[in-house]
Amino acid sequence: MPKEAVHPIALAQSSGMQGGIVKRSVKEMISEKLASVIASGALQIGDELPSERELALALAVSRESVRGAIQELAARGLVEVSHGARTRIVSTEGAALKAGIAGPDVINRYDLDSVHRARLLVERAVVADAATRIEASTLRRLEASLAAQRECLDDPVRFLIADREFHLAIYRSASNPLLSDLVTALYTYMMEYRRMAMAQPGAILRSYKEHLAIMAALEARSAAQVVEAFDRHIERIYDTTRTILDAAGKEMPAGGRQIGPAPPRRRRRPSAGA
């Protein structure tokens, strides 16, 4: 005797199904993105948020959605909105939304070289896959992101917001969501020091030019070229982060594992597929 079919309403009301389906508005997604940037250390207490127009451009959304997201952050006590002045970060408590498979507080427990080697290993696989799968709509979003980046070559905070959107759009084009989440988590490593590095003269322009090379490789749908472009980008991030840590005399990352002395300068190995 055949089993009775499960009614769709009963299925939707089951605890497992209800827990797995979550609809979020655009303003909620923007609020999460900004909270993640705050949690990473790229935005800190006392910082002013970019204007609504600037955020809308960086995130490729409407100003109305940005306004709603900022109101949500204010309701959570993360920002203070004042008439006639820029919105300011006033707290980081409760901002720690998980980025990828683990939040910055977890990733920052590891030493720089371990994270760098892991990022090279995982990111090469993810971006090579993304190169062959990326959709035209995502390429248009990346073009919009590059346009936003051109407008903030002297503003590290705005650039890092756009930079995050650029990278995550590529990672999410890969076929394996677990690897995409893992490389997203690795991307958040020591973001407060990345911000310091981006404040150095010419640093934002160099990163922007590397993004242009990544974009050209993606448009060519060439996995080998995308891997090569990302290799150059990741190696420079490693070098600048190491320089900032050494200059600060930093021996312990935020979570507690020792970084130790700087390793000798490595010879650059040929990129995969080069």
Residue 64 confidence (pLDDT): 93
* Model pLDDT for residues 46-59, shown as the tens digit of each residue: 989 989 999 998 88
Residue 216 confidence (pLDDT): 98
* Model pLDDT for residues 229-267, shown as the tens digit of each residue: 999 999 999 999 999 888 877 644 444 443 333 344 444
* Model pLDDT for residues 170-222, shown as the tens digit of each residue: 999 999 999 999 999 999 998 889 999 999 999 999 999 999 999 999 999 99
Regarding the domain delimited by 104-247, which CATH topology (the fold level of the hierarchy) does it fall under? Four Helix Bundle (Hemerythrin (Met), subunit A) (1.20.120)
Cα–Cα nearest to 257, from 109, 108, 112, 117: 109
Residue 56's contacts (CB-CB under 8 Å, 6 or more residues apart) are 62, 63, 65, 66
- Domain 23-89 annotated CATH 1.20.1250.20: no
Cβ–Cβ < 8 Å for 241, 193: yes
Cβ–Cβ < 8 Å for 50, 148: no
Kindly state the tokens that stand for 153: 């070559």
Residue 18 confidence (pLDDT): 43
* Model pLDDT for residues 5-31, shown as the tens digit of each residue: 444 444 344 444 344 444 678 888 888
Name residue 145's amino acid.
S
Please give the model's pTM, rounded to 2 decimal places.
Answer: 0.76
Residue spans of the domains in the chain: they are 23-89, 104-247
